[in-house]
Structure 1
Amino acid sequence: MFNIGSISNEIKEETKGLIDQNNHQEDIQDSLKQFTHNVSSEEILEALRQLYYIEKFASIDDIGNFIIILNKTTEKQLTKVTITDDVTHPINIFTKEIEYLESLVADIGQLLKEVEMENTDAIKSLKDRVATLSGLVAHFNRKEKILFPVLERRGIYILPRKMWADDDIIRNYLKRLQKRIEKIGEIEWRHVETAFIEFEAVFIEMLKQERLLLVPLMQEQISPVEWAQIAVESSAFDYAIEVPEIWHDPEIEPQTIEADLDAKKGTKNLRFGGGYLTTKEANLILDNLPVEITFVDKNGVFKYFNDLVESSEMMFIRTPISIGRNVANCHPPKSLSKVMAIIRDLKTKQRESESMWFKKDGKFIYVTYKALFDEDDEYVGILEYVQDIQPFFDLPQRMKRNAEK
């Protein structure tokens, strides 16, 4: 597996020079043949990622044009998926989603032109297609919550953080576009057109980043066992396209936990609180509390969540692949400073706990964060518990009046 930290400045500078020459329409075919003779595809792709994300030397279109001529001139196919032809494999589902979302945006652009020409029959089709764009949320969520944790294990942080920040911008542009599409006929047309143009620019650029820079990285860095785990956990976040079945490779042995390390099988009574429990009993109790529990240890490592319901039904979706992820990488860049400030205040006892609530899918969700300290007052970590408090709002009026007496 290629070590991403091993890329030399010489390779990066030569890649930079070739891109610059190609941008000026100079013939680089002979130079490319010589360059790629001694440089691997992984090294070239890492150079391109650094030039895009760190040095900001090249645009995504510069990179795309460079890869096109490199693929034509040499035997390398930098962005081709080669690990499998199975359409149900997560990497092929991901690339298929990219193609689908690109075509969806193109369709919407055409429908907008028809609506502008006062084709009233196109309005319903336009609204339906824009609503379908919500599939990008599932695509982004799987990328951020399942694919990025695996890359972070390899020491890859810059690409995930940059992409996640841009994903949040795209989500906001999508919300604005969908609101303005619903108001066609009530607002000036230029507002609808502007919303689409701005959304299209950032979204298409992200899809190009994924196809040219992320997919090859996934192919290089993610192991077969990890792909199997990704396949199982992806359904919790849904997909932008129809997925017929979960990918399974019979040659990949499922990961197992040694019996003496598996709390679900523990039969020895241990002291818990004011009594005794086996670890099996303690685990069952935690999994049956009417709250979602998450624990981050003193080093900021996401270490535990309870199995109250299936991941797809959770208020905050958690899956095992994120275990071991640093808490700073579990949150979108836009909310990171707020999250870290809460953790700092709880750790230093400036706050005893922090609670907040919001509405999600018609339910009121109540979230509490609390720092844990041991008998020596040493900081142990942060406990998060999430509750669905909608049932309290749904109490009969008679019971509410009695409670106020």
Structure 2
Amino acid sequence: MSGIINNREYRQKVLKEIILELHNGKSVDEVRKRFQELIKGVSTKEISEMEAQLIKEGMKVEEIQRLCDVHAAVFKGSIDQIHHPEKEEGHPVSVLKKENEAVKNYIQSHLTPNLEEIKKSDSHSTRLKLMENISMLFDLDKHYSRKENLIFPYLEKYGITAPPKVMWGVDDEIREALKECKEVINSANKTPNEITEKVESTLKRIEEMIFKEESILLPMCIDTFSEDEWLDIESESDEIGYCLISPSEKWKPKRENVEEKEKSKLANENSEGYIKFDTGILRVNELSAILDTLPLDITFVDKDGTVKYFSGGSERIFARTRAVIGRKVQNCHPPASVHIVEKVVEDLKSGKKDHEDFWLHMGELYVFIRYYAVKDNKGEFIGVLEVTQNIKEIQEITGEKRLIE
């Protein structure tokens, strides 16, 4: 039986059945019992795939959204969480987690005592305190907005569409529930029990969302996004704002100052800005213009894996910013593809290959990517050159052209 349980496809099937059983009216306890008997571990990736498959099979996003809190409660405590190292201060993941912690602390230190107080004495002052508490929790809108507008687009870029749709819907429901809390608290004909019930149900939804973010969403993002993408998310976060807290410092990925490092090595460049080659001599600005004029994206990574240069042509296929200079090449790719990059570099560095080629369709572009082993005049490996070109127009060339038209 254990062989069946450990079969990934079978487990995926069981997961979908669990959600459908809940949808068809089975109790949480019944489903939880089956879950504990048949499922030994569920990865965040499988949850994403399960929800995507349900949508693909015709289940409306709204229906999965309605079940979201229920299946989160079932999965809670049962997910084999991937233990990622803690992110540095100011990293978007660190900030989101600290906001979640601040929300939980605020609920425990302010809202919970005031709910206990209103159960004992329904006074105007206690209602005012609760109104203030709920108003503070409206700060969650900034937390959710950063998630929805900065993180979800990157997930969708990688084809992960179901979790963002479901989670955004639940975010909106929490926003609406907070508004309803204020209305109930502000209504003179609502009893303390009605107020408590509404507020507690909303707090439960907030706590469930915190769980889903930290156990499902963030591990999925950590496994998917490159460091450059996290840097873009961080750079735009200030504009939306933060929930209850603000980052104590800006996140700065570790990188090497290659410009300073290389100043002492440029022995071939004289004080007038010339570079002497075996086959000629060029001014620095001439060389830069030549490289930028080529219809290619060029990126050079040195033998230690540090990005040292990229060309600045006007029609780059893959976006680059100066922030990439000094970065380790592994940090410029999503974690899921890092092993491919490392294998390419290893093959080129060892001499097993002189180049490695890839080609793919990107919308109307047909992109050809070639990685070259770069060696000095002694044949020693000094780095990797990535050359990217749109070859669609080249492929379409036919016949001959010998004259200027």
TM-score of the aligned structures, taking structure 2 as reference length? 0.49
